[in-house]
Amino acid sequence: MTDSSVQFIGTATTLLRHGGFTVLTDPNFLHRGQYAYLGHGLASRRLTEPALQVDQLPPIDVVVLSHLHGDHFDRVAKAGLPKDVPILTTRQSARRLRGWGFSEAMALETWESTELSVDGATLTVTATPGRHARGPLQAGLPHVMGSVLEFGGHAPPLSVYITGDTLVHGDLREIPKRFPALDVGLWHLGGTRVLGLLVTMDGKQGADLLEIVTPGMTIPVHYDDYTVFKSPLQDFLDEVRQRRLPGVRVVPRGEVLELPSRP
């Protein structure tokens, strides 16, 4: 395990390690064949097996959670994660998590930041805009956030943008204005459809966003794990190739990728 790495566990679940911090994103540990519950009587069957189980995780400094859907924070995470682990998420999700006993769940409004420190290294997490759907369907889905993680202090500088389950919309153009030199991006894809309507980026939208926000390295996640995901990873890769967009790196489930160091 390197000092600066990302491990892709499955769905949008990753382990980010840098500067002494270990960050868990969107914890989803259901097994293949189990169902994630999406609210309003909707459920989706998992098609893949996570690379790690919750009891195999290292000590976690913070969980960054885009929103509270069953494919991002499931019943296994609810039962298995320590109740005092810090969780950074939306106000709606933090309120529910605290009701479940997660005492350190903290809400971030859009563009709000919080800073953590470990042995002189710092991690600043800033919430970025997210929109899970368009039109009236927005009211029936959880609030979502993206996030920018900035590692600093005694640690080598590193910035990571996590899209969250968002569609492309105009507010995302503010991200490169505020964070013009992002090192890594985690792109939530899949072209998820609920009642026939798109609620996460498909391959075309993923490439559209990459033309707006262009990290040095972009890692696709959240693309083949559930039956509601309708746009396979190849859709995104085809768009990226046709548009000659740089820096996309596919990380197979379970593998650990060393992250680039900033010159």
Q: Are 90 and 144 within 8 A, CB to CB?
A: yes
Other Cβ atoms closer than 10 A to 173: 12
pLDDT at 88 (0 to 100): 98
Report how far residue 125's alpha carbon sits from residue 150's, in angstroms, rounded to the nearest whole number. Answer: 6
For residue 5, is pLDDT > 70? yes
The residue-averaged pLDDT of 47-65 equals 97
Report how far residue 120's alpha carbon sits from residue 174's, in angstroms, rounded to the nearest whole number. Answer: 30
On the 0-12 / 13-18 / 19+ scale of CB atoms within 10 A, 52 is middle
- The CATH number for 216's domain is 3.60.15.10
Report how far residue 205's alpha carbon sits from residue 207's, in angstroms, rounded to the nearest whole number. Answer: 5
Residue 230 lies in a domain: yes
The residue-averaged pLDDT of 45-62 equals 97
pTM, whole model, 2 decimals?
A: 0.95
Encode pLDDT of 95-112 as tens digits: 999 999 999 999 999 999
Share of the chain above pLDDT 70, in %: 95
pLDDT at 1 (0 to 100): 41
The residue-averaged pLDDT of 58-81 equals 96
Instruction: State how many domains the chain has.
Output: 1
Residue 125 lies in a domain: yes
Residue 263 lies in a domain: no
Encode pLDDT of 201-223 as tens digits: 999 999 999 999 999 999 999 99
- State the residue range of the domain holding 119: 5-258
Residue 123 lies in a domain: yes
